[in-house]
Amino acid sequence: MKKYLLDTNIFIDAYDRYYRNEYFPTFWEKFAVILNDHVIIPKVVQDEITKSPWFLQWLADNYKDSILNHKDYAEQWQVILDYVQSCGLYKDSVLTNQTRGWANDAIADPWLVAIAKEDELVVVSNEEKEPSLGKGRLQKSAKVPDVCEKQKVRCIGRNEFFGEIGLSI
């Protein structure tokens, strides 16, 4: 049963930083199985992956499930945005920044939290919690693990994900 949503940074780190296809072909063989057995990919995540034609082709060739239409979760997405706006932890720019603001519907982060909350999935992200969150200073960016925690959505890192799904190379 599929139960994980991978943040865009998981994919980018895999193909660009840690497991380049020319050096780790076994990883990519196993990762295809993992994606099909354990992962749901929303279109907004696929759309954020713009710098690797190789990976987009690999994904098209290997991911056999349908890409999830994230816009089906618009109501829950709005709940997440309302929380970020009203919780008193973030600057307005967290939502309104032209390129990275969470109110920009092309940004995957709030969609991931919304989908996971709605469907009781686990978010996998390489982002770290903000240690100074709630300690008097408004934050200029929202971190996926922080918002997940406040929304009672489980969020884990890459290595914890690999451990849970039993990846061994």
pLDDT in tens, 75-129: 999 999 999 999 999 999 999 988 889 999 999 999 999 999 999 999 999 999 9
Please calculate the CA angle 131-109-34 and round it to the nearest 5 degrees: 105
Strands of the sheet containing 4-6, edge to edge, are: 39-40, 4-6, 122-124, 155-156
Specify the pTM: 0.94
pLDDT digits (tens, 9 = 90+) for 3-36: 999 999 999 999 999 999 999 999 999 999 999 9
Distance of alpha carbon 146 from alpha carbon 148, whole angstroms: 5
Q: What are phi and psi of 68, to 5 degrees?
A: -70, 135
Q: What are phi and psi of 139, to 5 degrees?
A: -85, 145
Query: What residue segments make up the domains of the chain, in order of their start?
Result: 1-169
Q: Which amino acid is at 28?
A: W
Distance of alpha carbon 56 from alpha carbon 156, whole angstroms: 24
Domain range 1-169, CATH class: alpha beta
